[in-house]
Amino acid sequence: MKSFFSILLLIFSLNFLKAQNNDSIYTVVQQMPTFFTNVGAYIYDNMKFPDIKVDSEAINTSAFVSFIVEKDGSVSSVKIIRPSMPAVDSAVVRCVKKMPKWQPGMQNNKPVRVMFKVPLIIDVR
């Protein structure tokens, strides 16, 4: 009987530690992360195309980027989900990695990691 309670206490302790170290990535939370402006507009306005001569080439494409807003509001794990032109993809990734901090997402009044997926239409002439 004593060993049963010891095992039960051990299981409870491990679950408690796991709950406190929750690094799960959410897609929907009670309070979603917020950015100071429209995310798509920010990316479009701050993209630089060093690999493309914009004067001579019109760019009309789309890209789909995903990233994680961390508990401290920083951005990590930036990935292109649906590639377009390599130069555009790398410009989008560079821009997202340089984003200012967000207000983090909240679940049960605690900051959590939240994944975002943003579709972009890029039209540069």
Residue 24 has pLDDT above 80, yes or no: yes
Q: What is the pLDDT of residue 1?
A: 52
How many structural domains is the chain composed of?
A: 1
- Considering the domain boundaries, does residue 32 fall inside one? yes
Q: What is the pLDDT of residue 21?
A: 56
- Considering the domain boundaries, does residue 105 fall inside one? yes
- Considering the domain boundaries, does residue 8 fall inside one? no
- Considering the domain boundaries, does residue 14 fall inside one? no
pLDDT average, residue stretch 68-90: 92
Q: What is the pLDDT of residue 16?
A: 43
| Domain coverage including residue 82 | 23-124
**Alpha carbon of 91 to those of 13, 23, 69: distances in Å?**
46, 29, 19
- What is the band of 50 on the pLDDT scale with cuts at 50, 70, 90? low
- 84: CATH: 3.30.2420.10
- Considering the domain boundaries, does residue 9 fall inside one? no
Residue with tokens 């939370």: 29
Give the separation between CA 46 and CA 18, rounded to whole angstroms: 39
- Considering the domain boundaries, does residue 15 fall inside one? no
Which residue has better confidence, 46 or 124? 46
- Considering the domain boundaries, does residue 11 fall inside one? no
